[in-house]
Amino acid sequence: NAEKIIPPIETHPLEPFLPGNAVLLMLGSFPPQKKRWSMDFFYPNLQNDMWRIIGIIFFLIKDISASGQKSFEQRTNHRIPQRKGIALYDTASAVRRLQ
């Protein structure tokens, strides 16, 4: 029997984003692996549509926060929830990725 290698436990790399005017808390699951990040902020993976949805809801523009095709603009993505009173964090603070 080959021994199974247990992946390490990863701790959440970001602090909760809690603007003082927050009226809504959006909870995700856990950030993707760092190699998939396009910025150091919540929902950093370009495959995730959260920032596009936020752009449509508040500005009627799908790509309000995209800066080109290969990254999100962190500065814009940080300002939108702050101005709109949206706090961001995830439901898990530590995980073990099995896949």
- 81 pLDDT band, cuts 50/70/90, is very high
The pTM (predicted TM-score) of the whole model is: 0.82
Q: What are the pLDDT digits (tens) for 41-65?
A: 999 988 888 888 888 888 887 765 5
DSSP string of 35-83?
A: GG-SSSSSS--TT--HHHHHHHHHHS-TTTTB-SSS-B-HHHHHHHHHH
82: buried, middle or exposed (CB in 10 Å: 19+, 13-18, 0-12)?
middle
For residues 32 and 44, the answer to whether their CB atoms sit within 8 Å is yes
Distance set, CA 89 to CA 6, 24, 59, 93 (Å): 26, 11, 23, 9
